[in-house]
C-alpha cells in the first residue's frame, strides 16, 4: 500500500520532475508489482500522464518507457480501447484506423485471450456489426496461424449477418491463404452482391 500511495503522490505532484522521480523510486521497489494491480488508473492513461510529466527529463523517460514496454494492458482495457476507437471513427476500407494498432498489440501481448475473445465475438449474433468491424481490422495484418485464420473465416461465413459474411470474404481476399480459397469455394452465399464478390475474389486469387 505504501507503493500505491507513493504512486498517487507522484501524479498528484504539481512539479513534474519530482513527480517522475517519485514514480521511478516506486518502480524499483519489489513491492510495486503487487500493489500495481490494486491501482485503479488504466496503465495506458498512467503512461500518458507519466510521459507528459517527464518532458525534458529524457533519461528518466526512456527508463519509464522501457518499464511500460514490458507490461501488457489487462485485456479488458484493449477491448475498451477498441470499442472507443470504433465509436469515434467508423472502420472504412483503405483508411487507417486507431483500432488497428490496439488490436495488433492485443494479439502480440495476449494472443491466447485475443483468440478466444474474437472467436466468441464472431459467434455472438448480437454483436455482428462490431465483430465485422473487428474482422475488417484484422484483415489489415496477418494474425496468428493459418489454422486460426481458417477457423475465423469458417465461423464468420456461417453468420446470419451479411456484414459478418462480407468481412469474412474480405479476410479471404486480404489474407489470401490457399486453405481459405478452399473454404470460400465451398461457401454457398445467399446474397447476390456477396456471391458476386466472392466469385471475383476467387478469380483474383486464382490468377495470383
Partner 1 sequence: MSQFLARGVSAAKWKGRINIQRHEVPADGVGADLRSSNNALSFWLCDPTEQRSLEDVVLVLASTRDQVQRIDLIWLSADEVAGMSIGLERTLGATPVSSLNHKHIDLTGIDLSRLFRLAGSVAEAVEGNRIRRFTEKQVLEILANAVQQDLVLAKSLKPSVIEKIQRGSILPA
Q: Which CB sits closer to partner 1, 166 or 177?
A: 166
Instruction: Indicate which single residue of 44, 123, 140, 150 sits in contact with partner 1 (rule: CB under 8 A).
Output: 140
Q: Is the dihedral of CA 4, 6, 10, 11 positive or negative?
A: positive
How many residues sit close enough to partner 1 to count as binding (CB under 8 A)? 27
Question: Is 56 one of the binding residues for partner 1 (CB under 8 A)?
Answer: no
Instruction: Indicate which single residue of 30, 58, 70, 93 sits in contact with partner 1 (rule: CB under 8 A).
Output: 93
Question: Is 204 one of the binding residues for partner 1 (CB under 8 A)?
Answer: yes
Site for partner 1 in 149-188 (CB under 8 A): 161-163, 166-167, 170, 173-174
Question: Is 129 one of the binding residues for partner 1 (CB under 8 A)?
Answer: yes
Nearest-approach distance from CB 106 to partner 1, in angstroms: 20
Nearest-approach distance from CB 24 to partner 1, in angstroms: 37
User: Given the rule CB under 8 A, which residues bind partner 1?
Assistant: 90, 92-96, 128-129, 132, 139-140, 161-163, 166-167, 170, 173-174, 191, 193, 196-197, 200-201, 204, 207
Amino acid at each position: 500500500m505504501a507503493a500505491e500511495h507513493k504512486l498517487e503522490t507522484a501524479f498528484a505532484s504539481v512539479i513534474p520532475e519530482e513527480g517522475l522521480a517519485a514514480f521511478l523510486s516506486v518502480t524499483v521497489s519489489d513491492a510495486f508489482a503487487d500493489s500495481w494491480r490494486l491501482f485503479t488508473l488504466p496503465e495506458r492513461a498512467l503512461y500518458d500522464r507519466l510521459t507528459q510529466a517527464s518532458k525534458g527529463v529524457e533519461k528518466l523517460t526512456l527508463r519509464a518507457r522501457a518499464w511500460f514496454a514490458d507490461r501488457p494492458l489487462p485485456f479488458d482495457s484493449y477491448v475498451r480501447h477498441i470499442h472507443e476507437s470504433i465509436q469515434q471513427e467508423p472502420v472504412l476500407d483503405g483508411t487507417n484506423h486507431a483500432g488497428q494498432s490496439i488490436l495488433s498489440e492485443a494479439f502480440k501481448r495476449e494472443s491466447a485471450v485475443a483468440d478466444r475473445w474474437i472467436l466468441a465475438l464472431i459467434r455472438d449474433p448480437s454483436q455482428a456489426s462490431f465483430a465485422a468491424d473487428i474482422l475488417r481490422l484484422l484483415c489489415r495484418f496477418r494474425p496468428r496461424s493459418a489454422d486460426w485464420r481458417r477457423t475465423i473465416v469458417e465461423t464468420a461465413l456461417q453468420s446470419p449477418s451479411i456484414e459478418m459474411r462480407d468481412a469474412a470474404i474480405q479476410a479471404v481476399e486480404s489474407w489470401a491463404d490457399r486453405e481459405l480459397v478452399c473454404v470460400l469455394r465451398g461457401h454457398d452465399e445467399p446474397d447476390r452482391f456477396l456471391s458476386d464478390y466472392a466469385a471475383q475474389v476467387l478469380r483474383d486469387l486464382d490468377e495470383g
